[in-house]
Amino acid sequence: MSKYVPKLSDLKKEFDEKPSVLKGNYSVQEWWDIPVEFRDGNWCFPGKPEVLEDLGFANPRKWAATDENWQLPAGWQKTISDGLQSRLKKYRSLKLFLDSCVRCGACADKCHFFLGTGDPKNMPVVRAELLRSVYRHDFPLVEKILKGFSGSRKLTEAVIKEWHMYFHQCTECRRCSVFCPFGIDTAEITMMVRELLNLIGVNNNWILAPVSNCNRTGNHLGIEPHTFVQNINSLVEDIEDLTGVAVEPTFNRKGAEVLFITPSGDVFGDPGVYTMMGYLLLFHHIGLDYTISTYASEGGNFGMFTSNDMMKKLNAKMYHEAKRLGVKWILGGECGHMWRVVHQYMNTMNGPADFLEVPVSPITGTRFSNAAATKMVHIAEFTADLIHHKKLKLDPKRNDHLRTTFHDSCNVARGMGMFEEPRHILRNVCNTFHEMPEDTIREKTFCCGSGSGLNAEENMENRMRGGFPRANAVKQVKDRHKVNSLVTICAIDRASLPPLMNYWNPGVSVYGLHELVGNALIMQGEKKRTEDLRENPMAGFEDGGDDEE
């Protein structure tokens, strides 16, 4: 713990030097005069040299954000401005978003990081201005003639430090974009700046290590094929212990109808594995002809948080594997950024997927025409369709020990537009479901504060601050309706919301949607179930209790 505790002498010094409340001089003139300060808990460790070498990325070295000298490569200014130029040519979005902001401030208080930190540079408009000010300097317009008129500034090392700090305090959640009258999406700007920063070796190990793992082993966690299979098999054993039913997933099997891909967190981490158990139970329940790949074993895509090329590279495995295995279509598990990639990028980047068929549910016969080109269906769409056609035997009472609320994950909400399917499922698998306040759900949902590869341990304080608006909304349903379960359809959420809840709202646990499905499914030949998938007792099903079965 000592590592993270600030030194007393530093604190004293800071207290003396900084403007303070007591001195009453907290207000600064211009945002660019506010100094950038890296301190423990507000930055992520940089990419390790060996990781960068493995990926062929620029400027591998040992460094830390708190260093005075960041050892930027020679000519880095040119690298950045050339990089910016070429991206401006390739992306109309970037150019438009840099040109058209009127600084109306509608987005200013919409960002969870601003709401949680009060740091003015976390206002989306200022975050974008961090780049815009440099852009205006580099690409002179008439405005620039009048110096100081439009707030332009030179690209200096201090600016790079500022970029590193604040473009790693944006989770690419797009909430600001919902409120902007011109649809300016700061997430898009963040993605571009992170690409630029990677060109000069300013980066984040928490993002790059998974990227390198995924490239090598097929998944972020670097699980090799045999371990991957072992993991799922031990979940299969757990399922049998709990329900008496033996589910039989297959791996890398050619000729299956469906390839199932989910984030590797579901195979490895707690509580993701319980969601995985839910999927396995569901597929067994309906007799789906599916297979899981150890090669395309990652639904998530941290490449997205690095560069668009890297996103494409990691994503390419999905179609490649589907083609090799000869499946008809792909089914995707619960994940946020994975679905942003699949929904908005995959077919453009790695399509067309002519070797696949338009997805048709083998159980209900529903043709998923909304996925006619990409040929990948979201598990919530798939399950909602099953429930709608009454193909599942469900006992929602088995989730009576859970009083739920639903967290819309940013990417699924604002990058895909899926709101009703998960709610339809949730209402059918449990009896108590309360929505959080209106302006904190659906397209206005608050990010968990750890998205886009910011969920590093060393970044914990930042994450707690950024997640505060979300936690605060949960607290309201907790106080009002005794909610104790936060249900979500995102792997990053399943990893990052538990600490968030533990800190702000102890007593609220985090669940994947299909974990609740798994709890509620009445399996053929099952034994009497008294515990949920986490081996917690279910209310009203205690041994010897009077339930109607």
Q: Is there a contact between 116 and 470 (Cβ–Cβ < 8 Å)?
A: no
Residue selected from 113, 179, 433, 511 as contacting another protein according to rule CB under 8 A: 179
Distance from chain centroid for Cα 529: 33
Residue selected from 287, 417, 507, 540 as contacting another protein according to rule CB under 8 A: 417
178 or 483: CB nearest ligand HEM: 178
Least separation in angstroms between CB 146 and another protein:
8
Residues in 81-120 that interact with another protein by CB under 8 A: 88-93, 95-96, 99-106, 108-110, 115-120
Q: Which does 171 bind (CB under 5 to 8 A by kind): ligand SF4, ligand HEM, another protein, none?
A: ligand SF4
CA distance 275 to 296: 19
User: Binding to another protein by residue 241, rule CB under 8 A?
Assistant: no
Q: Binding pattern to another protein, positions 11-40, x when CB under 8 A?
A: xx-xx--x-xxx-x-xxx-xx--x--x-x-
User: Binding to another protein by residue 278, rule CB under 8 A?
Assistant: no
Amino acid in the structure at residue 496? S
Amino acid in the structure at residue 38? F
Q: DSSP readout, 127-184?
A: HHHHHHHHHHHHS--HHHHSTTTS------HHHHHHHHHHTTS-----HHHHH-TT--
User: Binding to ligand SF4 by residue 470, rule CB under 6 A?
Assistant: no
Stretch of 24-32, 84-92, 174-182, 379-387 contacting ligand SF4, by CB under 6 A: 174-182
181 or 437: CB nearest ligand HEM: 181
Distance from chain centroid for Cα 338: 8
User: Binding to ligand SF4 by residue 184, rule CB under 6 A?
Assistant: yes
Least separation in angstroms between CB 102 and ligand HEM:
4
Residues in 156-185 that interact with ligand HEM by CB under 6 A: 181
Stretch of 11-19, 167-175, 362-370, 473-481 contacting ligand SF4, by CB under 6 A: 167-175
CA distance 509 to 501: 7
Q: Is there a contact between 125 and 166 (Cβ–Cβ < 8 Å)?
A: no
List Cβ neighbours of 94 (8 Å cut-off, separation of 6 or more): 87, 88, 188, 189, 192
174 or 375: CB nearest ligand SF4: 174
CA distances from 212 to 51, 219, 298, 306, 307 (A): 6, 9, 13, 11, 13
What are the b/e assignments for 19-38, b being 16+ CB within 10 Å? eeeeeeeeeeeebbeeeeee
User: Binding to ligand HEM by residue 100, rule CB under 6 A?
Assistant: no
| Residues near ligand SF4, by CB under 6 A | 101-107, 110-111, 113, 124-125, 127, 170-176, 180-182, 184, 186-187, 190
| Residues near ligand HEM, by CB under 6 A | 102, 104, 181
